[in-house]
Amino acid sequence: MKRVLVLSFLAIFASILAFSSVAMADTLFTYGATAVIPTPGSPANNPPPQPYVWQFTSDTSGLGYAGMGVAMSGSLTPATLTSLSAEYWMAAGAFGGGAPRFSLVDSSNNEAYLYWGTSLGGGSFSDPNGGTQWGNTGNYADLLSSDARVYSNGFGGDNNPNVGVTWAQFLATGSVSSTQIADIYLDVDGGFTGTQVLDVSTLTINDTDYHAPAPAPEPSTLVLLGSGILGLAGIWRKKIIG
């Protein structure tokens, strides 16, 4: 009995340490009106397999923006960025106001915007899924793509925010291809055109897939867990004394 109690105590303690170490090493972050929710049952035709998804909301009554980002700890440049995509569902509203989009940020906080969706011309894009199902953005770091969806706002010295170019054209401009990427964002902030709610199940950067984690335990849950551990320790102590 004592051995079972000891093993249970160690297992719980190890799980807490494991959770802490993962959280400390994680380079992914969220901001704005962002929540982690259980994967919605609708649309039911093709829900993602992940149990949780990120939900980003942009509207005029809230913060007006939401998103997630990944801080690059190692070397990553546009030339070595070969895959950038997301699994998403536009749960409410429509594409517009320059969102949703990916953003590449250099060390001087200059950005290059990669807009999602089907081009409508003039820098406007629409949701190819029409808000009816989950879909994949497709790879936005594809050298063979003919989509003019990259708008550079000073990234790597390329300041041409009002002219869309292909990924290959973007890489061929000045020193862009060798500029270090400090952060990659997935952003929604077009709520001034109408409420936007975007659910994202997977963000893929090269060979890494990022998924929404289970929501952190509420403080009351942590108190209960701590009480349980103390209870186990008390029982173990009584057994030793007895």
Q: What is the pLDDT of residues 30-81, one digit of tens each?
A: 999 999 999 998 887 788 999 999 999 999 998 999 999 999 998 999 999 9
Token pair of 217 as six digits: 């335990």
pLDDT at 219: 65
Residue 116 Cα distances to 120, 136, 140, 238, 240, angstroms: 11, 10, 9, 62, 64
Mean pLDDT to the nearest integer, 15-34: 59
pLDDT at 242: 54
Q: Strand, coil or helix: what is 93?
A: coil
What is the tens place of the pLDDT at every residue in 117-168?
A: 999 988 899 999 999 999 999 999 999 999 999 999 999 999 999 999 999 9
For residue 165, being part of any structural domain is answered with yes
For residue 105, being part of any structural domain is answered with yes
* Residue 189: half-sphere exposure toward Cβ, Cα within 13 Å: 14
Does residue 12 register a pLDDT over 90? no
For residue 202, being part of any structural domain is answered with yes
Does residue 26 register a pLDDT over 70? no
Token pair of 155 as six digits: 């990234």
d(CA 5, CA 11): 10
Q: Which domain holds residue 106?
A: 33-211
pLDDT at 215: 87
| Residue 101, strand partner residues | 115, 187
Assess whether the previous peptide bond of 40 is cis (omega < 30° from 0): no
For residue 205, being part of any structural domain is answered with yes
pLDDT-derived band at 18 (thresholds 50, 70, 90) equals very low
For residue 204, being part of any structural domain is answered with yes
pLDDT at 222: 45
pLDDT at 44: 76
Token pair of 24 as six digits: 């400390």
> In 3D, which of 48, 139, 57 has the Cα closest to residue 88?
48
* Residue 26: half-sphere exposure toward Cβ, Cα within 13 Å: 17
pTM over 0.75: yes
For residue 169, being part of any structural domain is answered with yes
Domain count for the chain: 1
Return the number of other C-beta atoms located less than 10 Å from residue 142's C-beta: 16
Cβ atoms of 177 and 78 within 8 Å: the answer is yes
Furthest C-alpha separation in the chain? 80
pLDDT at 218: 66
What is the tens place of the pLDDT at every residue in 74-121?
A: 899 999 999 999 999 999 999 999 999 999 999 999 999 999 999 998
What CATH code is carried by the domain that includes residue 88? Answer: 2.60.120
Does residue 231 register a pLDDT over 90? no
For residue 184, being part of any structural domain is answered with yes
Token pair of 236 as six digits: 């173990």
For residue 176, being part of any structural domain is answered with yes
